[in-house]
Structure 1
Amino acid sequence: MSPLYTDDLQRIFEKLDKNGDGLVSLDELNWLLERTGMGMISQEEFQSFVGKPNLNLKEFLLFCNNTHYKKISEEDAEIVEAFKVFDMNGDGFISCEELQSVLSRLGLWDQSSGNDCKKMICVYDTNLDGVLDFEEFRNMMFKKN
């Protein structure tokens, strides 16, 4: 089975979000899981994973790409928290501007060093959309490309 990329998952999210509120409910998610033969998850499992009744796009991407419908490991939980620091606007992606801003705040960015955030992102941007999604960020943190 080939992996789904962020663009694919974003389109799926938009189709699932029938009422256009920017959130996917358990019922909407279960509709997809049932039709793809992946089974259904209970309200308790869903609540224990996300801690609330709906998923926004970012949470949906994390749910699909990272967890395979299980609780995330402690290591992945730390990566999720790190991702949230870099994803300053909460859209589920890390842009060049966000990366540079966080690195600057941490004292790790020097304009005179010649570093270019676009080049840094490009190394791990496997779907070539110019930003890092969670899985690409995770690969960067573990130095996988």
Structure 2
Amino acid sequence: MSCLSANDLQRIFQKLDKNGAGLISIDQLKWLLEKIGFQTSIDDLQALMGSGKCLDSIDFFFFYDIVIEKQKKGGDEASDDLNDDGDLVKAFKVFDLNDDGFISCEELQSVLSRLGLWDEQNCQDCKRMISMYDMNSDGLLDFEEFKFMMLSDFS
């Protein structure tokens, strides 16, 4: 899992906090995790979050840090999960909106926009991100290219 910047996390939090109350619920957090391909139960989230039913932005940042640290400490366990390809297939399907087996620039931009991570002023970033891992230069990411991109972010 690649690390997000504080600005990225703040934008995600603001997108989730639709009513502007400065809080996101466990349900909203679960929705976000499912959108990026992680299935979890409300009970698991409550165990991670403690007794609170909502997170403010600071708690959200701490939650993110806990997830990243858990992933890093997973060591071999995390590598085994990635070698299984199950989670990577789920993540790939999140981006492959038309289910054609490829991630296009438009699909990448659409998913990043939904997550609040897309800045309309940086239109060329999408093409640049794909071209970095597009081994056959077709302008699309197939699953193997996506897998290489995700695994290289873990090292």
TM-score (norm 1): 0.46
- The structure with higher relative contact order (CA 8 Å, sep 6+) is 2
Q: Write 1 or 2 for the structure with the bigger share of helix.
A: 2
TM-score (norm 2): 0.43
